[in-house]
Amino acid sequence: RTPMVIVDRELEGVDADLVRIDHEQGAYLATRHLLELGHRDVAYIGGPAETGVTQLRLSGFRRAMAEAGAPVLGSRVLHCDFTSPGGHAAAAQVLEGKRPSAIFAGNDMIGFGVLRAAAERNISVPGELSVIGFDDIELSRYVYP
């Protein structure tokens, strides 16, 4: 038997130590931050609904919203692929009509698409819309706002 540590993916049938991100807690803390800023109408744009990562992040989002007594409307939960074009398309939907005051993006790439959709609609970020992503990828340091 060879000692092994698996990073961020549980493999069925493999007996090994696992080190991974706490996706649920991370999403909970990010959502709680938005709530602490005073947001109550927060939309969630996550990755594909069937992925474990998305389910965990959505669970954290829902937990924070429930603890704050803030409703999560079905129209405020959207799914897309983990890309900027996916985030852009989902944000275009959620920003039509009565828009939320904040958006939780399931990863930073989705967040970049959200920022683009907001800019196309002349929505000031963070003045009129707060956006928070998940992952803190290096490219995020070069994106404004």
User: pLDDT at position 13, please?
Assistant: 86
pLDDT score at 10: 79
Q: What is the pLDDT of residue 119?
A: 98
Q: Which two tokens stand for residue 10?
A: 């549980």
What is the predicted pLDDT for the residue at 1?
A: 67
Distance CA 103, CA 45 (A): 7
State how far the Cα of 39 lies from the Cα of 47, in Å rounded to an integer. 22
- The backbone region for 122, taken as left when phi is positive above 0, alpha when psi lies in -120 to 50, beta otherwise, is left
C-alpha 71/C-alpha 20 separation (Å) is: 30
Domain ranges within the chain, ordered by starting residue:
22-142
What pLDDT shows up at residue 114?
A: 99
Q: What is the DSSP letter of 139?
A: G
CATH number for the segment(s) 22-142? 3.40.50.2300
Cβ 70 vs Cβ 34: under 8 Å: no
- Helix, strand, coil distribution of the chain in percent, nearest 5: 45, 15, 45
Q: pLDDT tens per residue, the chain (145 residues)?
A: 688 899 987 788 888 888 989 999 999 999 999 999 999 999 999 999 999 999 999 999 999 999 999 999 999 999 999 999 999 999 999 999 899 999 999 999 999 999 999 999 999 999 999 999 999 999 999 998 8
Q: What is the DSSP string of 34-66?
A: HHHTT--SEEEEES-TTSHHHHHHHHHHHHHHH
